[in-house]
Chain A
Amino acid sequence: MKLPLSWLKEFVQITADPDEISHRLSVAGLEVENIERHRPAFAGVTVGRVLSVERHPNADRLSLCEVDAGQFGRFRVVCGAPNVRPGMVAPFARVGARLGGARKSGEAPVSLDEVAPLQAAEIRGVRSEGMLCSGRELGLSEDHSGILALESDAPLGTDLAQYLELDETVFDIAITPNRGDCLSTVGLAREVAALFGLKLKLPKIKPPAVSDGECPDIEIHAADLCRRYAGLPMGGIRIANSPAWLRRRLELCGMRALNNVVDVTNYVMLELGQPLHAFDLDKIQGGKVVVRRAGDERRFVTLDNQERELRPDDLLIADAVRPLAIAGVMGGLDSEVSDTTTRILLESAYFEPMTIARTARRLGLRSEASYRFERGIDRQGQVTAISRAAALIRQLAGGHELAPVRDVEPEAALRREIDLDLRRVGALLGVDVPRAEIRRRLISIGAAVHTTGKERLGVIAPSFRPDLNEAADLAEEVGRLRGFEEVPERLPQRPAQIITRDPARAFVARTRDTMLGCGLTEIRTIAFVAPEDNRRFPGLDGGSPVVVTNPLSTELSQLRTSLIPGLLGVLRFNLNRQATAMHAFEIAKVFHSTSDTPSEGQRLAAISYGDFIVTSVGAPPIAAGFFTVKGILEAYFVSLGIFDQITFAGIDTARAPYLHPGMAAEVRLAGKMIGVLGELHPQEALRFELSRNCGLFELDFGALADYRHPPRAIEAPPRFPAVRRDLALVLDRDVPAATVIGTVKNVQEPLLESVEIFDVYTGEGIAPDKKSVALSLRYRHKERTLTDEEVNRAHEALVGRVLPLLNATMRQ
């Protein structure tokens, strides 16, 4: 909302400087976003009257004019404007004036410092002592077809900038949705008066002239949507341009001037906050105005000549035959005020905020009027506003009332009295406010207050403040008007008490630490992906993707089912910026839909590409791949103390089609699948233009966090030495290492402490379909040192059982 300071000053005698006003409004909840300071594009221009006009002796198109510039005297001026007439009041630039208006159409005004002062000049042999100016020369408009006509009563010799209020300060104020009342100059003036302890002077409204003509009947058929409708017919209208002061104010407030009638309706809306509409009275058929729902009406042409589609619940203003306007949103093409209009019907109504909001939003028609109706206008302001508009139209368009205001209100507004317990104000604000101050503050915003008890006030909120409904609302008014800086700072008094810590948060922190320690950097990606991403990178859950009903774009139309595409996107982004390696992880939510119900899950995913460990200069680096990411996972599971419950197994490729089918594994926790790891499928690598191996994993983080970790049993280190025996087996090439280890462990030799694979060999000396696996077995007894004989016995027995189980032989 734009608020010109000069307009504000009509209603409140404020002398504080604009910065102070801005500060006080801002801390009281009316945030001034900007202070515009307007300065005229000219200097030394006064109001002058053309006394006489004669032909220039030496030029047909020029005139010689005598100009009366009040206290500055009379001047002879050469003028080329075709519209100059005796008696005309116009801007007169005296010798020494500076004109910064555009020289040519479409150009911007020039800075006054760069403009040379006007000099007296000989024009075709006649001396000209000054100049009559066009709108363009003064930077006031684009018009250069003639000199600018001022109002005939403009005081001669007055500085034009002062007369037109061009030295202006305009506050640009952000109005929160609860403060519809402040979408008006008077509403803001009331706030300023309340904040500075000043008196509010409301605009004087001349009562309408008495008349007894006909007014169309007004019927409200949708009393739930239209609470009140006032109509006023006026005749004798002469449509013309509005005077400069009015046009200027509309423009300062960001509205365009059209003609005197429409401008007046807008002016009153800006002044009082009540949107008004003017119909051409002669286009209203059947002598009545009906406020009704659209019902079967399907289409309507608005005054911008657009056909609009209606819904049955849209509220319309109609006559006996057809719709005239979409209530509170936009008028119709057929009934709008035109240049030939002589009789009008003014409308001033209260429409329900929600109905206007719905219709305006659906049609994409947000007008100054709908904006105000949506936020709730003064429930009782209709007649005042229509009278104010009528007075201005009488003054500016020569009109007169044809009949008294017809005011239809099916049900009178409720008088809302709030029972205010004064202790409540102190309890909320944390500071005691004296009763007298509470009273004074509430009265300053227009409330009626009376005492109802020792600690109680009865407060009737003003009709323009629908946001004041209960004690908390009044406490806020008192608090914000006196300033929240008056509220002391206090820390809560609470007993010393250990706060509960969410174990899930601790688990995230622990996981993050391990990942960071393994060299992975944490990244954050946005949860929206393209359908293509979800198709190529199905999540662990298998459900279908969640589709956003109103996405920003197709590229962001679904919620991710997996973190992998995001990680790959970030990799590509960095490679495009000359990175050669990236090792990163993300802990974030993914989403999927089961039987059309969206739900969310948490994932831990990582990507590792390029050199993983850079050794010293000259030594080969270790590149990222399946085993480096697997190593990270192993380190993670060890850190969680669940490594012995984890297994890695071959993967169903449909589960992770983006992984290399021969270099991918499923991760299982206590036999249950909790994730996948592997290298990126060469086809995807091609798509992302990756030249090196790319390791990936994704885990169901929620399942991991929820896993009930068995309590850890801590043992002292063994006191007796272990004995190592190595074993080289030759077995079928496709027997996995995990099977070999598992088979050895399954023998359950009591002395066997651990078994590890330390080499796998294929090639010379081994049949092509076989491989050699070298195992290291450690034997130990808890209570004594083992003898060689004991170990040999145990080892041989174990080998004897393992060989047939694995269909293996000892390597020779």
Chain B
Amino acid sequence: MREQLEAIRNRAMAQLGDDASAEQIENVRVAVLGRGGELTAIMRGMREVPAEERPAIGQLVNEIKRELESRIEALQERQQRARMERALAEQRLDVTLPGTRIGRGRSHPLTQVAEEMIGLFEAMGFEAVATQDIDDDFHNFSALNFPPDHPAREMQDTFFLPGGLLLRTHTSNGQIHVMQRRQPPLAVICPGNCYRRDELSVRASPMFSQIEGFMVDRTGIVTMAHLKGVLSEFLRGLFGAATRVRFRASFFPFTEPSAEVDISCVLCGGGGCRVCKHSGWVEILGSGMIHPNVLRAVGYDPAEYQGFAFGVGIERTALLKLGVDDMRLFFENDLRFLEQF
């Protein structure tokens, strides 16, 4: 019995040489270790072995079994490694070829700039409210202290619509709508599109966008000093902490006092260049303390309430921020322009 086992072992080991093929290995496994294999048969015939030899034979069978199994495993592992190495040697990509392109769109530069601006105001506690593009004379002009036929109306050439309506010339109509609906304290911005009768050109567009903002509270709470604080903070947030801000007296029918706001030139930093027409300053927005007539128009008592308001053009801000000099780029939608954002 012992000899028979040794013979099985020797034969099998001989067949499991280093160059044994996968098929040979499998044949050996089936012939020796398989269900109907030689070792299995011997284990099954163990009853016929004298009882005193059984432990030793059993041990030997297990020993041979383990030896063959580990030999097979080693051979298979070696072969698998060889196959993998062959494959690795063959499988070579030109990693410099382009990948499968899953498109990713770009948001419009005006969206990006507007969102940044809105975000800054929201961070300062302003609430963004959407208002309408089509409006009436009252909300776009009269309530904002533009009397009929007043020359100030000509600063903003209006598109008129049937039914006595018009396309808003500024987002300031939002001020009126919100104040009519709510009571102070208010801190609101109204972003949106506006329309003026200008041909599309380097500097103008018949449709453009603005952010109107205003803050109203009891007399003495929201002053011109707060207007300066909020707008300076906003402009430094948008254009960088080193930006200098200048308030110049001006005129808007709906504010009194009125101020235009300049920032130190984004290109030259104030030294003087083409962008700032060598003045060192560029105009960025209009602002002021809400005119008492505007407060009256929405039913607030100007002796009780006061506040500030401002309007900032998104296109103009975007031109300055992005360092481009042609308004048409925003509305032509040339992909070669848009894909840079």
Chain A residues proximal to chain B, CB less than 8 Å: 26-29, 31, 176-179, 353-354, 357-358, 374-375, 426-431, 470, 472-473, 475-476, 479-480, 484-485, 487-492, 494, 497, 499-502, 504-505, 509, 512, 515-528, 546-552, 556, 559, 570, 573-574, 577, 579, 582-585, 589, 591, 593, 596-600, 612-617
A283 CA to B16 CA in the complex, in Å? 136
Tell whether, in the assembled complex, residue B101 and residue A614 are in contact, meaning their CB atoms are under 8 Å apart. Answer: yes
B107 close to A (CB within 8 Å): yes
A30 to B, closest residue via Cβ: B249
A583's partner among B103, B134, B149 (CB-CB below 8 A) is: B103
Residues A527 and B207 in contact in the complex (CB < 8 Å), given A177-B151, A490-B225, A490-B228: yes
A27 CA to B246 CA in the complex, in Å? 9
B231 to chain A, nearest CB (A): 9
Residues of B within 8 Å of A577, CB to CB, are: 334, 336
Which B residues between 214 and 229 are near A, CB-CB below 8 angstroms?
Answer: 215, 219-226, 228-229
Tell whether, in the assembled complex, residue B225 and residue A521 are in contact, meaning their CB atoms are under 8 Å apart. Answer: no
A497 to B, closest residue via Cβ: B125
B259 close to A (CB within 8 Å): yes
Tell whether, in the assembled complex, residue B230 and residue A429 are in contact, meaning their CB atoms are under 8 Å apart. Answer: no
Residues of A within 8 Å of B129, CB to CB, are: 502
B338's partner among A375, A473, A523 (CB-CB below 8 A) is: A523
Which B residues between 175 and 230 are near A, CB-CB below 8 angstroms?
Answer: 185, 187, 193, 195, 197, 199-200, 205-207, 215, 219-226, 228-230
Residues of B within 8 Å of A599, CB to CB, are: 134
Residues of A within 8 Å of B150, CB to CB, are: 177, 354, 357
Residues of A within 8 Å of B292, CB to CB, are: 470, 472
Chain B residues proximal to chain A, CB less than 8 Å: 97-108, 110-111, 115, 122, 124-130, 132-134, 147-152, 155, 159-163, 165, 167, 185, 187, 193, 195, 197, 199-200, 205-207, 215, 219-226, 228-230, 232-233, 246-251, 256-260, 289, 291-292, 302, 306, 330-336, 338-339
A492 CA to B155 CA in the complex, in Å? 32
Q: What are 14 A-B pairs with beta-carbon distances under 8 A?
A: A31-B248, A476-B258, A484-B249, A492-B226, A499-B126, A499-B127, A515-B105, A519-B105, A522-B107, A526-B206, A573-B333, A596-B163, A598-B163, A600-B134
A593 to B, closest residue via Cβ: B162
Residues of A within 8 Å of B246, CB to CB, are: 27, 485
Knowing that A484-B247, A518-B105 touch, tell me 15 more A-B residue pairs with CB under 8 angstroms. Answer: A177-B151, A178-B152, A427-B223, A479-B224, A484-B257, A489-B228, A491-B230, A505-B128, A516-B105, A518-B103, A522-B105, A526-B206, A549-B162, A556-B206, A615-B100
A429's partner among B167, B223, B251 (CB-CB below 8 A) is: B223
B108's partner among A473, A490, A522, A527 (CB-CB below 8 A) is: A522
Residues A526 and B257 in contact in the complex (CB < 8 Å), given A519-B105, A521-B106: no
A515 to B, closest residue via Cβ: B105
Tell whether, in the assembled complex, residue A472 and residue B256 are in contact, meaning their CB atoms are under 8 Å apart. Answer: yes
A375 CA to B129 CA in the complex, in Å? 35
Residues A552 and B206 in contact in the complex (CB < 8 Å), given A492-B229, A525-B333: yes
A525 CA to B292 CA in the complex, in Å? 37
Residues A525 and B224 in contact in the complex (CB < 8 Å), given A178-B251, A516-B107, A600-B132: no
A489 CA to B230 CA in the complex, in Å? 8
Tell whether, in the assembled complex, residue A26 and residue B111 are in contact, meaning their CB atoms are under 8 Å apart. Answer: no
The prevalent SS among residues of A at the interface is mixed
Tell whether, in the assembled complex, residue B205 and residue A517 are in contact, meaning their CB atoms are under 8 Å apart. Answer: no
Residues of A within 8 Å of B165, CB to CB, are: 598
Residues of B within 8 Å of A527, CB to CB, are: 133, 193, 195, 207
B163's partner among A485, A492, A597 (CB-CB below 8 A) is: A597
Tell whether, in the assembled complex, residue A521 and residue B335 are in contact, meaning their CB atoms are under 8 Å apart. Answer: yes
Tell whether, in the assembled complex, residue B207 and residue A528 are in contact, meaning their CB atoms are under 8 Å apart. Answer: yes
Tell whether, in the assembled complex, residue B160 and residue A550 are in contact, meaning their CB atoms are under 8 Å apart. Answer: yes
Residues A428 and B229 in contact in the complex (CB < 8 Å), given A29-B250, A484-B224: no
A517 to B, closest residue via Cβ: B104
Tell whether, in the assembled complex, residue A479 and residue B257 are in contact, meaning their CB atoms are under 8 Å apart. Answer: yes
A550's partner among B134, B159, B331 (CB-CB below 8 A) is: B159
B254 to chain A, nearest CB (A): 12
Tell whether, in the assembled complex, residue B162 and residue A598 are in contact, meaning their CB atoms are under 8 Å apart. Answer: yes
Tell whether, in the assembled complex, residue B151 and residue A428 are in contact, meaning their CB atoms are under 8 Å apart. Answer: no
A134 to chain B, nearest CB (A): 37
B228's partner among A177, A488, A501 (CB-CB below 8 A) is: A488
A492 CA to B218 CA in the complex, in Å? 13
Max chain A Cβ within 10 angstroms of own Cβ: one of B147, B167, B197, B339: B167
Residues of B within 8 Å of A375, CB to CB, are: 151
Residues of B within 8 Å of A617, CB to CB, are: 97-98
Tell whether, in the assembled complex, residue A476 and residue B249 are in contact, meaning their CB atoms are under 8 Å apart. Answer: yes
B306 to chain A, nearest CB (A): 7
A520 CA to B124 CA in the complex, in Å? 32
A661 CA to B258 CA in the complex, in Å? 58
A29 CA to B256 CA in the complex, in Å? 12
Max chain A Cβ within 10 angstroms of own Cβ: one of B101, B134, B205, B256: B256
Tell whether, in the assembled complex, residue A502 and residue B225 are in contact, meaning their CB atoms are under 8 Å apart. Answer: no
Tell whether, in the assembled complex, residue B127 and residue A502 are in contact, meaning their CB atoms are under 8 Å apart. Answer: yes
Residues of B within 8 Å of A570, CB to CB, are: 332-333
A426 CA to B230 CA in the complex, in Å? 18
Residues of A within 8 Å of B291, CB to CB, are: 472
A374 to B, closest residue via Cβ: B151
A354 to chain B, nearest CB (A): 4
Residues A519 and B257 in contact in the complex (CB < 8 Å), given A430-B225, A485-B247, A500-B127: no
Residues of A within 8 Å of B222, CB to CB, are: 492
A780 CA to B247 CA in the complex, in Å? 71
Residues of A within 8 Å of B100, CB to CB, are: 613-616
B42 to chain A, nearest CB (A): 41
Tell whether, in the assembled complex, residue B331 and residue A476 are in contact, meaning their CB atoms are under 8 Å apart. Answer: no
Tell whether, in the assembled complex, residue B332 and residue A552 are in contact, meaning their CB atoms are under 8 Å apart. Answer: no
Tell whether, in the assembled complex, residue A476 and residue B336 are in contact, meaning their CB atoms are under 8 Å apart. Answer: no
B191 to chain A, nearest CB (A): 9
Max chain A Cβ within 10 angstroms of own Cβ: one of B187, B197, B199, B229: B229
Tell whether, in the assembled complex, residue A357 and residue B151 are in contact, meaning their CB atoms are under 8 Å apart. Answer: yes
Tell whether, in the assembled complex, residue A490 and residue B162 are in contact, meaning their CB atoms are under 8 Å apart. Answer: no
Tell whether, in the assembled complex, residue A512 and residue B111 are in contact, meaning their CB atoms are under 8 Å apart. Answer: yes
Residues of A within 8 Å of B185, CB to CB, are: 494
Tell whether, in the assembled complex, residue B206 and residue A494 are in contact, meaning their CB atoms are under 8 Å apart. Answer: no
Tell whether, in the assembled complex, residue A598 and residue B134 are in contact, meaning their CB atoms are under 8 Å apart. Answer: yes
A551 CA to B207 CA in the complex, in Å? 12
Max chain B Cβ within 10 angstroms of own Cβ: one of A497, A524, A559, A582: A524
A639 to chain B, nearest CB (A): 15
Tell whether, in the assembled complex, residue B105 and residue A584 are in contact, meaning their CB atoms are under 8 Å apart. Answer: yes
B313 to chain A, nearest CB (A): 14
B159 to A, closest residue via Cβ: A548
A499 to chain B, nearest CB (A): 5
B123 to chain A, nearest CB (A): 9
Residues of A within 8 Å of B199, CB to CB, are: 552
A600 CA to B133 CA in the complex, in Å? 8
Tell whether, in the assembled complex, residue B333 and residue A612 are in contact, meaning their CB atoms are under 8 Å apart. Answer: no
B316 to chain A, nearest CB (A): 15
A612 CA to B102 CA in the complex, in Å? 8
The 6 residue pairs across chains A and B that have the minimum distance between CB atoms? A519-B103, A430-B225, A430-B223, A29-B249, A480-B249, A176-B251
Max chain A Cβ within 10 angstroms of own Cβ: one of B105, B185, B291: B105
A573 CA to B332 CA in the complex, in Å? 8
A612's partner among B103, B115, B331, B335 (CB-CB below 8 A) is: B103
A616 CA to B331 CA in the complex, in Å? 33
Residues of A within 8 Å of B221, CB to CB, are: 492
A475 CA to B205 CA in the complex, in Å? 36
A524 to B, closest residue via Cβ: B108
Tell whether, in the assembled complex, residue B331 and residue A525 are in contact, meaning their CB atoms are under 8 Å apart. Answer: yes
Residues of B within 8 Å of A519, CB to CB, are: 102-105
Tell whether, in the assembled complex, residue A524 and residue B127 are in contact, meaning their CB atoms are under 8 Å apart. Answer: no
Residues of B within 8 Å of A559, CB to CB, are: 161
Residues of B within 8 Å of A354, CB to CB, are: 147-150
Residues of A within 8 Å of B260, CB to CB, are: 31
B298 to chain A, nearest CB (A): 16
A528 to B, closest residue via Cβ: B206
Residues A476 and B256 in contact in the complex (CB < 8 Å), given A523-B333, A552-B199: yes
